[in-house]
Structure 1
Amino acid sequence: MNKLIKTSIASILITNMLSIAHADDGTSTELDAIEVISQKFKEKDEAYKKTGAVSIRDEINKSSKDLDAIIRSTPGTFTQMNKAAGAVSVNIRGATGLGRVNTMIDGVTQTFYSSGGDTGTKGGGAGSQFGAAIDPLFLTSVEINRGSFKSSSNGNALMGSANFKTIGVDDVLRLDKNIGGIIKYSNGDNDLKPEYMAAVAGKRIFDYGGSLGFLYGYSRKTITQDYLVGGGETHQEISKKNTEIISEEYRKAYDDEPPYDIRPFDPEKVKQKPQSHLVKLEYVDDYSTLGLQYRKLTNHLAGRSIKSDTKQINYNLIIPNNDFINLNLLYSQNKNSQNYDIGSTIIDRKIQKPLQGRNKSISFDINNSFKFNLPFETNFTMTSGMNWLKNDYSRNRYPDELRIFKVCEDDPECVTSLGELNPKGKTNLYTKVNASLPTNSFFPQGDQKNRTIYFNNKFEWKMFTLDYNVNLVKSKNKGQILTSVDQEYHKIQSKMDRLYDMYDDLSPTEQAKEFAQKILNEANKLSKDLDAFDKKYEWDFDDEEFKKRPTFVNYKQVKNTFKNYSVTLTANMNNYFTPFISYSKTHRAPTVQEMFFSSLADAGVNLNLKPETARTQQIGFNGFMEGAITDADKIGYKVTAYKTRIDDFIHNVYSYKSIRGINPIHGSQIVPALQHRNHDQLVTMKGFEAEFSYDMGRFFANLSYARQRTNQPASYSDIPRTASNADEEQAEAQSFGLTKVTILPNSYGSLELGTRLFDNKVTIGAIAKYYGKSKRTKFDSIEVCRGGGRVYFDKVRNRPVCPGKKDISDRIGGIAEYEEIDSQPMVYDFYVMYEPTENLMLKLNVDNITDVRYANPLDANNDSASQYSKLIHADKNAEGDYYYTKEFQNNFARGRTFKFSLSYKF
């Protein structure tokens, strides 16, 4: 534990011992605005009394909806859907991923970097995304905070946070029992498979009032994707019809069969059977609350086995009837591994021997709350604390078989890119040189450390409440940079040249002489290595020594320090109308994957990435009323308008870089490569969010709506790629599914109407879901200039130039361009629930009851290359342009689906 951590802990503990008053910062309330299951508004009442853009969905484990649908029922919140991920990825206002959204489970940041293999042929390239690996059957609620923050959860969270809560002992036990269990089961048609969860729990209550509880839960399910879409066809059947159309045109132009499989994914490759275990030990008395937790998840999906192990300790210490101490401690250790099958493919390259990607994270948090009663009827509450997160990514070996360039001869398993075999059976020099260079595109290695000191302050004076929260974050990224012998030699030689020039006419110091000698020794060693492998410029194709050229690993680290703050002013006028206004400044440090990703040597590495900075303004109001229309009804509502401005937004481009040492003839080489950069223009997000709920017992209604406008840029890796690299120019742009489009639909919402009958034992409800226009990337990219403007071709100079420039020195490179997908048709779901006793629940769902054909926004396969076709010219030698046609869109959601579920407590 370093000096900063020790000092922070000491200062917090000393502060707590000095006449500190205890403060209760409020407990989390739970809300389910979409699916009401005989709730009595105990927690839901309080949810609408909380100011700010905060939403809660509870009873997740009781819902028959999948987790994506539950989260998407929240305004301003969405999910990235990826069938190959095996994890849920929360999207807040168009931002997702580690640092943009702090996704937590029981208060612990989730760092799982899911990187799957190919999920199809033409359109099924590898996909990667950050997410939380958890079974929804073990979740009770999720609290989503957008735009502002409290506590330590937003030290590195640009747009907000989502905290999932797992089930506890009291969620399993019946109210009148100290030992018992719960069984849940569901099954359905349209390729739904059985899933079940069983949990047992026990509690011992001691004479002094304390209790000790134990819980063990196990879940298992089968998830398949060979379903019927709206209209009663499978993806296979739709693709077959579309292929026949494309094939006819292709045969006319090329007199051959097209090499296309236009399914958005292969159902066999995204079939999964996740299993989960949950163990908890809970101790509670008047002074202490101690929780021990262990979670394990195993799965096999998209060509690899996934394993996640989590150990966690939570401790709370309070002193009843005084305000001196309310101390909280949290420690968690999480290990994730992905073991890739031998023979599975990633961007159409086969894994030839065991390959493993690993992620290990350690979290520690300590904080204390206290309260002061100040003059003028003012109450001051403060929570001070420290949070420490270490996040490490590694792999068991360098995956040589995943290199973009390969030297091949009569090898059907080898794909030659940007270099054809010549008639004499030798590969050209350019391909040979590049084939010797390492890549760091698959599971970049490195670690990230975030140390956060935070203070949450709350002032209450009469009808006004001021929340001012601030934290200081020190972030450090350390990662690997891969280079070749040639590159290292030329780097050192350049240093020597500069050193000689510097001391040409001066007498060097002894220190300078030693430094020069050190560089010279390094140069001599590398020169010997270079001579051993480069005895001639033109290598023979069968020269095995060429394939053994060594790779050098350099470790670099980058440090950042930034301060986040959030201010919210609330006027508690009455329960019917509570307006608020807030302003926040938040940051997000670059990830290891962004900073150290490189598809060719160190061409894509960017150690100069700046943290993203967001400034968010919010204004809104909320209210809660009882007895508004009848004596027993209740109304809750919340409305928020916001504007976020982001500086240094990180995205990736297809750029060009000069590297010395990769071409033994010319000395340097201009190579294209993907690189993450800070956007040089301000990114703006504007939106409106609203929630409404009404319940009069016999009848209830829930409404959710969001609307947003943004100018955030696309990343080049958003562009759909073919897994088989049908076109050689795509080879260097392969990104292992590094990103996908994250922009929310321009508007979306849901409305639920329902009734309760027969003493609330029967509930009948219907949900209508609406998705407005959304974005996807075009297959083609555009070239842009630094400072804005597109590259255009100057006919006079006969070359591409930037506006107002004479050359292309200011060219950034290729970026993706968005296109718009039309609004989707309304989707209607229907459900009937029967609770004959308090411990038994039976439920029948009919999703997409009208069987409409629609596509889910932000589905990774919406941007697969299978959604595009190549325009065929009459001239066989003419290159065609890629275009998207709606009649060939085939990545649709499930059609009409019946699902039965039951839950029984014993």
Structure 2
Amino acid sequence: MKTQLTRKILGSCILFSGIHSLVFAAETEKTVQFSSLKVSSAQKQTPEQKALAKPGAYSSIGEINNLSSVEQALRSTPGTYTQMDASQPGVGVNIRGLSGFGRVNMMIDGVTQTMYSTSPSQYAHGGQPYNQFNSMIDPNFIVQIDISRGQQDGENSINALAGSANFKTIGIDDVLFSNHRWGIRSKAARGTNGLGYNGMVAIAGKQPILNHDGYIGAMFAISGHNIESSYKNGAGFNSHEFATTKDFNQKPHSELAKISFKPNDSHEIELSGRFYNNKFNRRTIESQDYYAKYRYTPLNDLFDSEILLSRSQASQKFAGDSLMSLRNGHAKNISNALVAKNTSRFNYHELDMALTLGTKLMSIDYNREVTAPSSDPWQSQNMIEYNVFAPQGKNDISSLFSQIKFEYDIYTLALNLNYTDYHIKGYKPACDPKAACFPEGAMNVNRHEKAWEPGALFSAQIIPEFEPFISYAHTTRAPNPQEIFFANEGGASMNPFLRSEKADTFQIGFNSYRPDLIVAGDSFRLKALWYHTKVKNYISSDSYNVCKGGKRCKIDGTFTDDDYSGMEYDGNIYLYTNSLDPVTMRGYELQVNYDADVFYTTLSYSNERTSQPTSLAMGDFGQSPASELPKYYATIDAGVRLFDDRSLELGTIIQITGKSRKASAEGFDFDTGTIPMVEQEKIPTVINAYANYQMNKNVSLKFAVHNLMNKNYSNALDRSNSAPIMDEQGQNKQTARGRSFLFGGEIRF
């Protein structure tokens, strides 16, 4: 496969080298035809406002300047949430009730994140580690988050069932003031109630070259945190009683380096390296991302080309007996990727067209090293083989993506077609002869699937106050090695025949823009939409025993006493399977932005419904957690800007959460064969307050109070809520942080 992947990468490079040669020929023509130009005020808009003007379910989060966390910012975005887990230091994005690699494409600077994070937990069922897909990124480096939900979006929608979230990191121009050749930007913050302190320093420079036609620039940033191991909830109880241990104290540090070379307007090269290191909860975490990006934008409508080569690697080393029955645990994953694309623009009379063609190749490898504390070789091998820690496997994804966009008068039609080829490889050991396993012998698995993914989006700019859009997208995601090679009973619990999930999503909505709505110079923006998604072959795990006659019996309401007494194999087999019934998700989302300079407000509202089943491996083996969203949730961010220069900003954030369900703390229900979803205690309205003061262009000060009214509650989608210790709720087991104060500042020159 390495040879095949190398051929594909070389072939793509040759393809774009050919384009590079063709464009020089095109540039020798005496005349150049330009497509029509649409002039707007978009350059003055914030990322949030730009997304509100874009047809489709798009949202953006600009730089977070009010001392909110990244999780809070994501949870304040329509259709978007996070998977909270106190034992995990990363960010897990949830889109419309789906999360994890393949369901949500989490990216950092366009590089897909694939880390499967495993965290020891003394609070889990059986003390098993908690697991979930996470992005390890320092919040101080984030300057923007772009979110796409439910529609085709080029390379971002490859192996992305529900959508994507791209975290953009600080760059040279984020450090430098306009027309400055060098600069420094630093920020720091400190908080009470376990938040600790953090700081970042970035230095950058840009030097004009070639008679000021181009430039060469570089940036280096370093960031560090010191986060305490515990906090107090609204009733004053310490989190060591219900969610954390002394091992939760952490001091993560990160570095980020970027080099940019642009000799002229046609060529641009960017190199980047990002490094994350942390010792947290009895494990050492290291993560590195590297990428090289080349962009070719000549004065020619036929070519707007980009190539991105990336390599990501993550490592987790576990101390002592933190994995319970295993020792010296070391989980690693490496991801190599190539994205190459080109956009050509044409026009015919009043019809503008844009054709995008591209390819995305990924190779993701998960492996582990581990020993068992036994001197008996047979027992030692069994302890390793019959264990769910860090399943090993490889996922190779080759894809082509395309879009042709037509623009005529007020109408826009974008037609998409993607092709994806999956290869999932790994080793399945031989099964116990009594385990009713097929195939019974050992085998090297090579699961292969192909998929065509069409999509379309139609929009009309009827009037600024009403710009409707409608879209359809067919998306797929390959099974992950963590599902196919799950091994609580060795080879007997592996499913080499697991199929890809497939989703069909319909969306209809509209954007609205109205300047001078209430006072001169104000602006009002709105995005409202409804969506419906049907997922076929939904993947979750069930529990089986081998009944009389050597057949597997699912442990659910149909499992009888006779089945139990006639069992021929004493193992309880957890197996990931495809659901026979489609899983349906639907809802509506609303986002409003109003800015009158002296007063501003942003409102987001989501109302979601889902029928997805729970996964049994979540309970007894700590696999990816339940991801069902609250029935509805809303955030209102409103404030005023004072003084003539609007340098003082005073604001409040109001969080409203409807009924929410969690996986039952009692775990598996033998009568139904499921982990029931039970209603969580009512989540109160939570208020945060903040103040920002821009002293001058070089110095700003920030202050915030989180959970101003000191409410005692538990956040939705917090894994701690489903731990066995939570079987009886009380004031001492509410997992949300109580009132906390934060002070911060930024210096830039």
> Same fold judged by TM-score > 0.5?
yes
C-alpha distance in structure 1 between counterparts of 2:423 and 2:36, whole Å = 31
Displacement of 1:752 in angstroms is 1.5
C-alpha distance in structure 1 between counterparts of 2:437 and 2:234, whole Å = 59
Alignment length (residue pairs): 717
C-alpha distance in structure 2 between counterparts of 1:704 and 1:141, whole Å = 18
Q: Deviations over 1:414-470 (max 9, x none)?
A: xxxxxxxxxxxxxxxxx9899678314110111100001110211111111011111
> Which residue type is aligned with residue 360 of structure 2?
N
Number of the residue aligned with 2:320: 342
Number of the residue aligned with 2:554: none
Q: Does 1:886 align with 2:711?
A: no
Number of the residue aligned with 2:61: 57
> Which residue type is aligned with residue 346 of structure 2?
F
C-alpha distance in structure 2 between counterparts of 1:22 and 1:127, whole Å = 58
Q: TM-score, normalised by structure 1?
A: 0.75
Number of the residue aligned with 1:467: 414
Q: Which has the higher strand share?
A: 2
C-alpha distance in structure 2 between counterparts of 1:172 and 1:705, whole Å = 34
Superposed, which structure 2 residues align to 1:168-207 within 5 Å? 168-206=171-209, 207=211
Superposed, which structure 2 residues align to 1:225-624 within 5 Å? 225-236=229-240, 263-284=241-262, 285-320=264-299, 322-343=300-321, 345-346=322-323, 348-349=324-325, 351-352=326-327, 354-375=328-349, 377-397=350-370, 399-401=371-373, 438-483=385-430, 554-624=443-513
Number of the residue aligned with 2:521: 632
| Cα distance change on mapping 1:436 and 1:313 into 2, 3 Å | closer
Number of the residue aligned with 1:899: 742
> Which residue type is aligned with residue 635 of structure 1?
F
Unpaired runs of 5+ in structure 1? 32-38, 237-262, 408-430, 496-551, 661-665, 720-733, 785-789, 791-813, 869-884
C-alpha distance in structure 1 between counterparts of 2:545 and 2:233, whole Å = 43
Query: Is the contact made by 2:78 and 2:604 (CA closer than 8 Å) also made in structure 1?
Result: yes
C-alpha distance in structure 1 between counterparts of 2:128 and 2:396, whole Å = 31
C-alpha distance in structure 1 between counterparts of 2:383 and 2:192, whole Å = 52
C-alpha distance in structure 2 between counterparts of 1:467 and 1:370, whole Å = 14
Query: Is the contact made by 2:468 and 2:509 (CA closer than 8 Å) also made in structure 1?
Result: yes
| Cα distance change on mapping 1:490 and 1:844 into 2, 3 Å | closer
State which of 736, 743, 748 in structure 1 corresponds to 2:633. Answer: 748
Query: Is the contact made by 1:651 and 1:715 (CA closer than 8 Å) also made in structure 2?
Result: yes
C-alpha distance in structure 1 between counterparts of 2:447 and 2:54, whole Å = 39
> Which residue type is aligned with residue 154 of structure 2?
S
Larger CA deviation: 765-774 vs 10-19: 10-19
Superposed, which structure 2 residues align to 1:651-690 within 5 Å? 651-657=540-546, 669=569, 671-690=571-590
Displacement of 1:89 in angstroms is 0.6
> Which residue type is aligned with residue 774 of structure 1?
S
Say which SS state the counterpart of residue 74 (structure 2) adopts.
helix
Say which SS state the counterpart of residue 385 (structure 2) adopts.
coil
Query: Is the contact made by 1:25 and 1:381 (CA closer than 8 Å) also made in structure 2?
Result: no
Q: Deviations over 1:112-150 (max 9, x none)?
A: 110111254878641111111110111110100000022
> Which residue type is aligned with residue 657 of structure 2?
Y
Q: TM-score, normalised by structure 2?
A: 0.90
Displacement of 1:378 in angstroms is 1.3
Q: Deviations over 1:43-98 (max 9, x none)?
A: 444332101000000113x4411111111110100000112222111000000000
Query: Is the contact made by 1:567 and 1:584 (CA closer than 8 Å) also made in structure 2?
Result: yes
> Which residue type is aligned with residue 638 of structure 1?
K
Query: Is the contact made by 1:181 and 1:905 (CA closer than 8 Å) also made in structure 2?
Result: yes
Say which SS state the counterpart of residue 237 (structure 2) adopts.
coil
Q: Deviations over 1:165-188 (max 9, x none)?
A: 111011011225211211111112
Say which SS state the counterpart of residue 272 (structure 1) adopts.
coil
Q: Deviations over 1:731-758 (max 9, x none)?
A: xxx42x1121100001001111100001
Query: Is the contact made by 1:741 and 1:776 (CA closer than 8 Å) also made in structure 2?
Result: yes
| Cα distance change on mapping 1:164 and 1:22 into 2, 3 Å | farther
Query: Is the contact made by 2:48 and 2:62 (CA closer than 8 Å) also made in structure 1?
Result: no
Query: Is the contact made by 2:92 and 2:133 (CA closer than 8 Å) also made in structure 1?
Result: yes
| Cα distance change on mapping 1:624 and 1:123 into 2, 3 Å | farther
| Cα distance change on mapping 1:436 and 1:369 into 2, 3 Å | closer
Number of the residue aligned with 1:781: 668
| Cα distance change on mapping 1:334 and 1:832 into 2, 3 Å | same
Number of the residue aligned with 2:656: 770
Larger CA deviation: 300-309 vs 366-375: 366-375
Displacement of 1:336 in angstroms is 0.5
C-alpha distance in structure 1 between counterparts of 2:318 and 2:333, whole Å = 14
Say which SS state the counterpart of residue 407 (structure 2) adopts.
strand
C-alpha distance in structure 1 between counterparts of 2:151 and 2:246, whole Å = 42
Displacement of 1:822 in angstroms is 3.5
C-alpha distance in structure 2 between counterparts of 1:65 and 1:437, whole Å = 43
Query: Is the contact made by 1:52 and 1:148 (CA closer than 8 Å) also made in structure 2?
Result: yes
Say which SS state the counterpart of residue 73 (structure 2) adopts.
helix
Superposed, which structure 2 residues align to 1:687-726 within 5 Å? 687-719=587-619
Number of the residue aligned with 1:96: 99
CA RMSD of aligned residues (A): 3.1
State which of 691, 703, 711 in structure 2 corresponds to 1:832. Answer: 691
Query: Is the contact made by 2:102 and 2:477 (CA closer than 8 Å) also made in structure 1?
Result: yes
Displacement of 1:615 in angstroms is 0.6
Query: Is the contact made by 1:101 and 1:160 (CA closer than 8 Å) also made in structure 2?
Result: yes
| Cα distance change on mapping 1:24 and 1:183 into 2, 3 Å | farther
Query: Is the contact made by 1:745 and 1:857 (CA closer than 8 Å) also made in structure 2?
Result: yes
C-alpha distance in structure 1 between counterparts of 2:473 and 2:34, whole Å = 24
